[in-house]
Amino acid sequence: MNPFSVNLPNERRIATARAALNTAHVVRADFPLMSDNAVIELLADLRHFCAGRNIDFGSCDTAARRQFDHEINGGLQ
């Protein structure tokens, strides 16, 4: 588990995700509306990042899902 995100409230996590989306748009010089496409582009960029560093995106995605489920349930899972 990421020690830097354990105690962040959901509002802060949402703000962090928005910042990541905005940063991705700036880097790509692309400014679409925040939509499904923006998330798809960010996820595709993360897949490229993982592929370039031999990181298993699928394993990271599975771990992220477990962490999200834990966080969204108030740490009860």
Nearest to 18 by CA among 46, 49, 42, 47: 42
User: Which residues have C-beta within 8 Å of that of residue 18, sequence separation ≥ 6?
Assistant: 34
Structure tokens at 42: 């960010």
Write the CA distances from 38 to 12, 15, 19, 41, 72, integer angstroms.
19, 15, 12, 5, 22
Q: Is it the case that residue 41 has pLDDT exceeding 90?
A: no
**Average per-residue pLDDT for the chain:** 77
For range 2-29, the mean pLDDT: 68
Nearest to 22 by CA among 6, 34, 40: 34
- The per-residue pLDDT for 1 is 46
